[in-house]
A and B are shown apart, each in its own frame.
Chain A
Amino acid sequence: MSTRSEARAAKKNAPAPGYDPAVDPLLEIKDLQVGFRTSKKDVVPAVRGASLTVYPGQTVAIVGESGSGKSTTAHAVIDLLPGRGEVTGGEILFQGRDVSKARKDDIVAMRGSSIGLVPQDPMSNLNPLWKVGFQIKEALEANGVAKGKEADRRVVELLEEAGLPDAERRAQQYPHEFSGGMRQRALIAMGLAARPKLLIADEPTSALDVTVQKQILDHLEMLTGELGVAVLLITHDLGLAAERADHLVVMYKGKVVESGPALDILQHPEHPYTQRLVSKAPSLASQRLSARVEREEVKAQAVQTAGEIAAELEAEPEVVGDVTRDDVITVQNLTKVFKLRGKRPGQKIDFTAVDDVSFSLRRGTTTAIVGESGSGKSTVARMVLDLLEPTSGTVLFDGVDVRTLKGKDQLRLRRQMQPVFQNPYASLDPLYSVYQSIEEPLRTHGIGSKKEREARVRDLLDKVSLPTSVMPRFPSELSGGQRQRVAIARALALQPEVVICDEAVSALDVLVQAQILELLNELQAELGLSYLFITHDLAVVRQIADDVIVMEKGKAVEQASVDEVFSNPTQAYTRKLLDAIPGGSIELGR
């Protein structure tokens, strides 16, 4: 870049006259209104009067659920509102200049060099067609920081600074060769490349495993601290926000409902929404003893109901296996080896995804399998469901090896064991109405007449606390939490003994997470269900599980009751998972 254009860029980035960085805020949002235009006349409001201030070097967190307008507010600051979004009122003052009224090229000059962005989903935010190094280099060149060979060198430094080992080689790789955590580090390097004064971090870690999340946030905190960069952190997790930010802004339905010092809000929440957040967020709730007491009650009731149901079932002639056994599922020495394609054609490499795992699920209780992605926990679930053939080892359901069942008996097994998957957006057929989705398993197994099936669907919707008016609606018309309720209703349609929840709450907002966990607990007590609960997040485990299996690299490294795991973990890996729960170190008011 020539010196003239550099000078021009510098002028565009200059603070407003009379702006004093020592006393004035870096960013000041006053009564911001943002709407999405649906036609020439109609604007649907998304942000309705938001105000906040960020001082140089300060970390401010905006907390709220999806749809609260927190991301919209952040995007308005760097004029990257999606589609037809526009600022309809208020002011966004960055160094005293109003961004919302600035010229287009002034904003382009400001992006990257004055305000950086670390986006939400590391999977979709890097261009898959360019090398990672090139994409960071672009940021350097566009902002006139460095160019050519010098920029290449700087890219490697930036990646190292973001905590990526072997940065020189990594810079020459494509995004698909990176893991999620590595991509997020690359995005952090990109956001900080031109040394902005303000970094907007939009849910920077919600798509990552808890342990990776902690590493990344620790690193981001250290970096921004060293560089003196102010951070506007957007998150739905109050525990995480309180741990990372000095100042909290709680948004609800497009408005700021509460703001103040982090600890203050956590200990004395005033707005009812904040109060609910504080009492329900799993990361915070998991520390409370009350959660354990409630869980014990649920378990006692569930075990009793399960026993009664088992006694009834025993009388039925077509039941497979021995339903009176204490262990509904017994897994013995389960191993799965995948054959991967090697470097040379025809070459095969063995990859052991699950390595000699044994455990049992007691009737009416919940066993949680915890581990990072790649630990083999979902592979275990698929083998238990008899959807994947184990390399060796057996899965016994009511004492019967699931692999030996054929035809009618296998169908019968499918009825007794139902899954709920992570992503309710993907696991429901978008072309099936809610009614069709829930009714389908009943129809497949030829249960009841049309009338009876309809009655059953109504009953199931009632059980998962959804109104029957959702029956004709399609998944795209429901929220994430509602969809997961539908998925649970579908799983319960066949009155299974066991429900296998594979990351069933991981894709949901904290409050919705809490509601779904509550629902699962209620259903367990009422129907005597046994759960196999798979998750990467130990925080939710405490509210739902009785026994925990911690998996690392295909092996079960620790197996114990929940209380033992939380109070007395024996493995370093388990401690790492526990430490990663956000907000764990915070003293709560109650």
Chain B
Amino acid sequence: MWWYVGKRLLQTIPVILGATFIIYALVFLRPGDPIAGLFGEKPVNEGVKEQIEAQYNLDKPFLVQWLLFLKGAVTLDFGNSYTGRPVIDLVSQAFPVTITLALMALAIEMVLGIVAGTIAGLRRGGLFDSTMLVTSLIVIAVPIFVFGFVLQLIFGVKLGWVDPTVGGDWSVSKLILPAFVLGLVSFAYVLRLTRTSVAENLSTDHVRTARAKGLTQRQVVKNHVLRNSLIPVVTFLGVDLGALMAGAVVTESIFNIPGVGNLAYNAIKRGENPTVVSVVTIMVLVYVLASLLVDLLYAWLDPRIRYA
């Protein structure tokens, strides 16, 4: 297995190279002059402009810029933002918030989705099942920012149970409502996936054999239905962790959370190549590691899959 993990980790190198290259190319092709933006309305002194361009390597060809970025990235030096702060500082402040938010969202959707999905799958056609199907359909159909604003208004403003916005000094308790909003759509998918999978597994031959052994319904569901049903759900959750981090952009702006989404959004607006590329690189890394984790979880869930 360690051979497999090593192989997969080696594969991340070309992925990172390709991803940074594409991002660099996209940012480079973006119209507008970032330095003019930096000075706003004021006229720019040619000498100062050239100096700044040299400082951020903007005067060099695109390929050289990219290679210089890679060279710095190896030593965790991602350059400075246009306000002069090292990018690594910005990123290391913003990432913990987003990671916490995404993991909380993942936990919420996983627990609620699997529990509700299992019950619905076991009682297919029942009242609970129908209610859950309709609810999940509504959740999938309505855009996420609508839920964000509505829940913020109800729980944050009208009822005052939680702070409507998070702000700079974030804490886990403040993130509960945003995490719920963030995980809502995925919850609906997890629920539906689990429901179908459970219903399908209930009618398999080995479940009938388990019943014939004299196991009670609870034992049958616990050992022979649930574990078998989780395989597709785990695939979805792994890919979803990456999607949650990207989706955080909307949620973070609604609840004013100082996370990666906010950072990336502002950096894109300002054309700050080093910041944008750094943030995206780390997101790519999270994605790659999450999918590796999913593949390892697979092998644990299903002994037929063994990596050599």
A interface residues (Cβ-Cβ under 8 A, vs B): 78, 80, 82-83, 105, 108-113, 116-117, 119-121, 124-130, 135, 138-139, 142-143, 174, 176, 187, 190-191, 193-194, 341, 345
Contact = CB atoms under 8 A, between A and B. Distances in A.
A112 B213 CA distance: 4
Contacts of B212: 78, 80, 111-112, 116-117, 119, 191
Interface stretch (B88-96, B200-208, B255-263): B200-208
A105 B218 CA distance: 12
Contacts of B224: 127, 130
Of B208, B212, B217, B304, most A-chain CB atoms within 10 Å: B212
B304 A174 contact: yes
B280 to A, nearest CB: 33
Nearest to B213: A139
Contacts of A124: 204-206
B215 interface: yes
A142 B215 contact: yes
A139 B214 contact: yes
Given A139-B213, A142-B213, A129 B301 contact: yes
A420 B217 CA distance: 44
Contacts of B205: 119-121, 124-125
B245 to A, nearest CB: 31
Interface of B: 3, 203-206, 208-217, 219, 223-224, 227-228, 301-304, 308
Which of B203, B213, B215, B304 counts the most A-chain CB atoms under 10 A from its CB? B213
A143 B214 contact: yes
B297 to A, nearest CB: 13
A113 B213 CA distance: 8
A190 B214 CA distance: 11
B304 A128 contact: yes
A194 B214 contact: yes
A44 B223 CA distance: 33
A141 to B, nearest CB: 9
Contacts of B303: 128-129, 174, 176
A174 B216 CA distance: 23
A125 B219 contact: no
Most B CB atoms within 10 A — which of A117, A138, A176? Answer: A138
Contacts of A138: 210, 213, 215, 219, 223
Contacts of B209: 117, 119, 125-126, 187, 190
Contacts of B304: 128, 174, 176
Given A128-B304, A138-B223, A345 B204 contact: no
Contacts of B203: 82-83
A83 B125 CA distance: 13
Nearest to B231: A129
Given A112-B212, A139-B214, A176-B303, 10 more contacts: A82-B208, A108-B211, A108-B216, A112-B213, A119-B205, A119-B212, A124-B205, A128-B206, A128-B302, A139-B213
Contacts of A127: 206, 210, 223-224, 228
A119 B213 contact: no
Nearest to A343: B308
Contacts of A112: 212-215
Contacts of A191: 212
Q: Which 9 A-B pairs have the closest CB atoms?
A: A112-B214, A117-B212, A139-B213, A124-B205, A111-B214, A174-B303, A127-B206, A142-B214, A125-B209
A125 B224 CA distance: 11
A358 to B, nearest CB: 37
A564 to B, nearest CB: 42
Nearest to A347: B308
Nearest to B308: A345
Given A129-B301, A187-B209, A345 B214 contact: no
Contacts of B227: 129
A378 to B, nearest CB: 23
A105 to B, nearest CB: 8
A60 to B, nearest CB: 19
B204 to A, nearest CB: 7
B20 to A, nearest CB: 30
Question: Which among A108, A127, A135, A142 has the greatest number of chain B C-beta atoms within 10 A?
Answer: A127
Contacts of A110: 214
7 contacts: A108-B215, A112-B215, A119-B208, A125-B208, A126-B206, A129-B302, A345-B308
A113 B214 contact: yes
A277 B210 CA distance: 34
B183 to A, nearest CB: 27
Contacts of B301: 129
Contacts of A345: 3, 308
Contacts of A78: 212
B206 A125 contact: yes
Contacts of A176: 303-304
A80 B208 contact: yes
A110 B212 CA distance: 9
A127 B303 CA distance: 11
A457 B120 CA distance: 48
Contact of B219 (A113, A116, A142): A142
Contacts of B204: 124
Contacts of B215: 108, 112, 138, 142
A108 B3 contact: no
A39 to B, nearest CB: 13
Nearest to B202: A83
Nearest to A113: B214
Contact of A111 (B211, B228, B308): B211
Most chain A CB within 10 A, of B206, B219, B227, B302, is at B206
Nearest to A104: B217
A66 to B, nearest CB: 16
Nearest to B3: A345
Nearest to B227: A129
Contacts of A174: 303-304
Contacts of A117: 209, 212
Contacts of B210: 127, 135, 138
Contacts of B228: 127-129
A157 to B, nearest CB: 17
A176 B303 CA distance: 9
Nearest to A81: B208
A544 B87 CA distance: 80
